[in-house]
Structure 1
Amino acid sequence: MIEKCRVGYFQFENKSDGLYVNVYPPKEETFSPAKIDDAMFYIDKKKISCDIVKLDEAIKTGASKEVCQKISEECPNPVGEFADYYINPDGMSVEAIFYPPFVGASFLDLEEIKKDITFKGVRSGTDEAAINDFLENKEYGKVYVLAKGKEPRQGTDGFIEYKFNTDLKPRPKINEDGTVDFHSLENLNHIEKGDVVAILHPEDRGDEGIDCFNRKVNPRPVKHVVFRYGRNLVISEDGLNLISKVSGHVMLEGDKIFVSDVLELVDVGPQTGDIDYDGNVLIKGNVQAGFKIKASGDISVSGLVEGAEVIAGGTITLNRGVQGKTKAVIKAGKNIVAKFLESCESVYAGGDIEADSILHSKVIAKGKITASGKNGLIIGGDVRATLCIEAKNIGNEMGTNTTVAVGVDPTMKRRLEELKKILNDLGKNKIQLNQLLEALRKKQQAEGSLAPEKQEMMTKTMRNVIMLEQEIAKNKKEFEELRQSIGEEQNAIIRVADAAYPGTKIVFGDVSMFVKKKYDFCSFVRDGAEVRLSAY
């Protein structure tokens, strides 16, 4: 049996004159020779007294040839084949190194080895294949793993995947010619309503293992994460997505996510670049010349607007006003409220405009314009409203050219007539296309199918009908808005609480008059084809 051993090994033998050691070299060069350390462990373990020097000499010589060396005058009790067992401190493996028996002594078998490791407390993971490997090959001195626990499956930490740039740093754009554009700075994470701003990847807790003693082995602890967020956010039904309830911008502060539809800035200038925001914008300081703010909602500026562009889908509030330098453009879908409007290239409101003073600016409001407050001035420029203009003073004693106009611009009336003709022509075209489409459908029903060229004609006609209907809807909307405006101009009026000065031009649609002398506390109305002075 021991002859199967492929590695080098030693074997003690009692003879009549004492104890001998037999050393056998490995069967092939790839296998290791017997080791003195194993021999020393053997004699120490079994309390065998011998000549250590001779034992060492025999082991060294036996690396290359068979050796039989007497090492003691005494004959100890013969020792059978045995194993030195080692249990890993974590209980997940049991190892064994086997040692050969004295010549003529007993060998271990499968059941004895299993009984040994059971005695050590092993209740799970015994590897009979490893035991049989030793029994068949007898590689003494080799480490055999005779039992293995089931390792726990380690889990993974939970984490949050952010769907926006969490390290946003404003950087100016470098143009192709090498110049720096401080207007285009990526300094906001814009989002739309319904956008997923973060995804939660839950922790994987892993699975328990079992050690060789049949004890449960827990996987290492993992990090549990949850969404931390402010208002305007909602968690999806499955708990994995964080969704914005508004359009605006998203930011991360620490590990907390914030979404707002109000953008708050101190100033707008080179440090921010131009602002294009889907929501409301609040500027606590100034808007510097040459920069632009565009918002789908309201815009409020606490400081001064210089020669800048401010465009809002809602209302614009300018607490200090505009020093336009003939370059400012202010446009609101609804109302404009300002301390003053001075030297503006263009001011437009889809609703009303209210300011303490309007100076040397081109101003248009679809509703009314009111210059009230302490000064209540309209001086210079061109100021137009559909319904009403009210001011304390229009013009000044210096005779500065000032135009104030109410009612509908004559060009709008011409546009209304154009739209009538356009809608009439589009209606006729739609009728013709529908007639052609109906004829093709009847032919298809009668014959079961259409020739390829007829089918192509039918598809093209249907596409043209859809495009025509979209064009009609667009023109109808413009037509109704113009007609409503023209209807409102019948009650248009200009009111002056203090004085209207010479140099002022009063306009009602296509009728106008020049103020040639000062008028106090008065109104101007249209009377047929002329402008008439009336009581305030």
Structure 2
Amino acid sequence: MIDNCRTGYFQFDARQDGLYFIVFPPKDGNRPVSIDDVLYYIEKKKINCDTVKLGEAVKAGCNTETEVKVSEEIVHPYAEFVDYRISADCMRAEAVFYPPFVGADMLTMEEIVKDLQYLGIKHGIDNNSIEQMLSVREYGKAYNVAAGTAPRDGQDGYIEYKFNTELKPRPKINDDGTVDFHTLENINHVNKGDVVAVLHREDRGDDGIDLLGRRVLPKKVNHVVFRHGKNLVQSEDGKELISQVSGHVVLEGDKIFVSNVLELVNVDNSTGDIDYDGDVVIKGNVVAGFTVKAAGNITVSGIVEGATVIAGGSITFNRGIQGMTKAVVKAGGSIVSKFIESAESVSAGGSIEADSILHSKVTSKETIKASGKNGLIIGGDVKAVYMIEAKAIGNTMGTNTTVGVGVNPAMKRRVDELKNSLDKLGNNKIQLDQLLSAIRKKQELEGSLDAEKHELQTKTMRNVIMLEQEITKQKKELEELRKQIGEEKRACIKVYDAAYVGVKLVFGDQCMFLKKKYDYCQFVKEGADIKCVAI
């Protein structure tokens, strides 16, 4: 009898008169003997006996110890043994205990470990499980006696996009129910230095080891890399994709593109108004009522109707402006247009050049040239600081046409304003500097400042910084105005064909109405008079 076994179990007893079979009932309601285990045992050990009697004994042994003679043969006693089962993936080994013949040897820890090693198991033998198995000896139960180290599966790499990858332009619905086609979110704006995408590298996981000591690979994961065009650079650690320019970002397939040139077919209901931090190229037209703003240059291949076009750089209109008395065009640099007609306002920080300028208000801080085949300036108000050139100014019909050069009197007044303002700002700064100096001396003498004086010091320093910024800004404006005023002495209006009656010439604060036709000449200011001289 095996004392430490609490489940039902059986033993064979080899005696002189034959083979006996003994069934021990379970303790405390545990599992009774299974006939399947008995049949497996006799098949494993090649024992010939009466299986009917075995079955009857198993049934009776559920409740009481039962002994029955099952064979007349003399059988060699078998020791306790274990049936080992290794899983197909070699990651788990189970052991099922079978009882010894009465009086035969019991297994030890060392013998079980040697058995496992003989089977080729080099990794994962569970000594604790074996000790538990030996202490309890539940026969017929499968114990896990060895386990491989399972691989740790990783995760696919992926790219996190910091912009909308599925732009779908939708018009804005106003509170009154009307539809605003001017405001469409159809551009992913990006500034220089912005992170447009973040790379989350794949986690490849960790290798496992099976019972035979072999490496077990985790599942394959997807490896991802940034695919991108120019104007993008990866961070030092390779995890961020950074824009090198201000412009817009798009995703085509899995490739990221950043450009500081926005290319459009037309500006109309399909695009809405455009406000772009870069260059804009429009292959078609700008429809009336819409606005195009760009920090850089703007190029329009088609017609600009009664629209607003504003550029920080230069503007080029390959066909021209059909203003409908509504068009507003403003450039920080120069403007080149095939023609300018019926524009409410066209202004440039640089020069303006067009084949013809008709019935429009046009101003330039440099020069205006009506060059090309026609070279016309007819109607409207056209003014430049340095020079205006045209083949013809006005027409035979005496259309009211104003052309002017030199500095606007308002600019001179602005110079005086800036001088007075700079004097006041300079005095204020001197006073603030003196106050700061006094506070610092007090701090040096006393070692520290009370809360009130510390707050005064902080406020004063902030005011000094703001004053310095304003002084710098106004000095820059004053310098630019003085430069323009200095160039005013050489301002002129050149006519290579004719200037007609009805034209008003303006030189600064002086004006002259043409009472006759002038051919191939230039107008200049001499003293307080405007005179016509040879080119």
TM-score range, shorter-chain basis?
Answer: over 0.9
Q: Compared with structure 1, are the counterparts of its residues 514 and 43 closer, same or farther at alpha carbon in structure 2 (3 Å cutoff)?
A: same
Amino acid at match of 2:28: E
Q: Compared with structure 1, are the counterparts of its residues 321 and 106 closer, same or farther at alpha carbon in structure 2 (3 Å cutoff)?
A: same
Q: Secondary structure at the match of 1:164?
A: coil
Q: Secondary structure at the match of 2:410?
A: helix
Bigger drift between 350-359 and 74-83 goes to 74-83
Q: Compared with structure 1, are the counterparts of its residues 361 and 52 closer, same or farther at alpha carbon in structure 2 (3 Å cutoff)?
A: farther
Q: Secondary structure at the match of 1:28?
A: coil
1:336-382 deviations in Å (ceiling 9; x for gaps): 11111122221111100111111222111111111111221222221
Q: Compared with structure 1, are the counterparts of its residues 448 and 129 closer, same or farther at alpha carbon in structure 2 (3 Å cutoff)?
A: closer
1:249-296 deviations in Å (ceiling 9; x for gaps): 222222222221111121222222222211111111112222222111
In the other structure, the counterpart of 1:143 is: 142
- Give the Cα separation in 1 of the matches to 2:177 and 2:36: 76
In the other structure, the counterpart of 1:166 is: 165
In the other structure, the counterpart of 1:226 is: 225
In the other structure, the counterpart of 1:520 is: 519
In the other structure, the counterpart of 1:183 is: 182
- Give the Cα separation in 1 of the matches to 2:7 and 2:342: 102
Bigger drift between 217-226 and 334-343 goes to 217-226
Amino acid at match of 1:534: V
- Give the Cα separation in 2 of the matches to 1:206 and 1:452: 58
- Give the Cα separation in 1 of the matches to 2:437 and 2:88: 89
Matches within 5 A, 1:339-488: 339-488=338-487
- Give the Cα separation in 1 of the matches to 2:57 and 2:178: 87
Q: Compared with structure 1, are the counterparts of its residues 12 and 300 closer, same or farther at alpha carbon in structure 2 (3 Å cutoff)?
A: same
Q: Secondary structure at the match of 1:225?
A: coil
In the other structure, the counterpart of 1:239 is: 238
Q: Compared with structure 1, are the counterparts of its residues 286 and 69 closer, same or farther at alpha carbon in structure 2 (3 Å cutoff)?
A: farther
In the other structure, the counterpart of 1:27 is: 27
Q: Secondary structure at the match of 1:6?
A: coil
Matches within 5 A, 1:36-55: 36-55=35-54
1:506 corresponds to 2:524: no
**C-alpha displacement at 1:65, in angstroms?**
4.9
Q: Compared with structure 1, are the counterparts of its residues 443 and 119 closer, same or farther at alpha carbon in structure 2 (3 Å cutoff)?
A: closer
In the other structure, the counterpart of 1:316 is: 315
**C-alpha displacement at 1:136, in angstroms?**
0.3
1:267 corresponds to 2:266: yes
- Give the Cα separation in 2 of the matches to 1:418 and 1:128: 96
1:40-88 deviations in Å (ceiling 9; x for gaps): 3222222234444554454455445544455556564433322111112
**C-alpha displacement at 1:131, in angstroms?**
0.9
- Unaligned regions of 5+ residues in structure 1, if any? none
1:291 corresponds to 2:290: yes
Bigger drift between 508-517 and 360-369 goes to 508-517
- Give the Cα separation in 1 of the matches to 2:328 and 2:518: 32
1:8 corresponds to 2:8: yes
- Give the Cα separation in 2 of the matches to 1:62 and 1:171: 83
Amino acid at match of 1:323: Q
Amino acid at match of 1:91: C
**C-alpha displacement at 1:476, in angstroms?**
1.3
Amino acid at match of 1:28: D
In the other structure, the counterpart of 2:488 is: 489
Q: Compared with structure 1, are the counterparts of its residues 458 and 203 closer, same or farther at alpha carbon in structure 2 (3 Å cutoff)?
A: closer
Bigger drift between 515-524 and 488-497 goes to 515-524
Bigger drift between 204-213 and 372-381 goes to 204-213
Amino acid at match of 2:206: D
Amino acid at match of 1:27: K
**C-alpha displacement at 1:120, in angstroms?**
0.9
Q: Compared with structure 1, are the counterparts of its residues 174 and 392 closer, same or farther at alpha carbon in structure 2 (3 Å cutoff)?
A: same
In the other structure, the counterpart of 2:279 is: 280
- Give the Cα separation in 2 of the matches to 1:435 and 1:286: 60
Amino acid at match of 1:275: I
1:127-168 deviations in Å (ceiling 9; x for gaps): 111111110011122211112223333343333333322233
- Give the Cα separation in 2 of the matches to 1:32 and 1:287: 89
Bigger drift between 112-121 and 451-460 goes to 451-460
In the other structure, the counterpart of 1:334 is: 333
Equivalent pairs, count: 535
Q: Compared with structure 1, are the counterparts of its residues 152 and 530 closer, same or farther at alpha carbon in structure 2 (3 Å cutoff)?
A: same
- Give the Cα separation in 1 of the matches to 2:214 and 2:35: 38
Q: Compared with structure 1, are the counterparts of its residues 24 and 413 closer, same or farther at alpha carbon in structure 2 (3 Å cutoff)?
A: same
**C-alpha displacement at 1:37, in angstroms?**
2.7
- Give the Cα separation in 2 of the matches to 1:60 and 1:308: 101
In the other structure, the counterpart of 1:123 is: 122
Q: Secondary structure at the match of 1:151?
A: coil
Q: Compared with structure 1, are the counterparts of its residues 526 and 212 closer, same or farther at alpha carbon in structure 2 (3 Å cutoff)?
A: same
Bigger drift between 3-12 and 332-341 goes to 3-12
Amino acid at match of 1:213: L
Amino acid at match of 1:194: G
- Give the Cα separation in 2 of the matches to 1:291 and 1:53: 101
1:291-349 deviations in Å (ceiling 9; x for gaps): 22211111111111122221111111111111222222111110111111122221111
The sequence identity of aligned pairs, in percent, is 66
- Give the Cα separation in 2 of the matches to 1:192 and 1:271: 24
**C-alpha displacement at 1:192, in angstroms?**
1.8
- Give the Cα separation in 1 of the matches to 2:372 and 2:446: 78
- Give the Cα separation in 1 of the matches to 2:17 and 2:450: 117
- Give the Cα separation in 1 of the matches to 2:69 and 2:290: 103
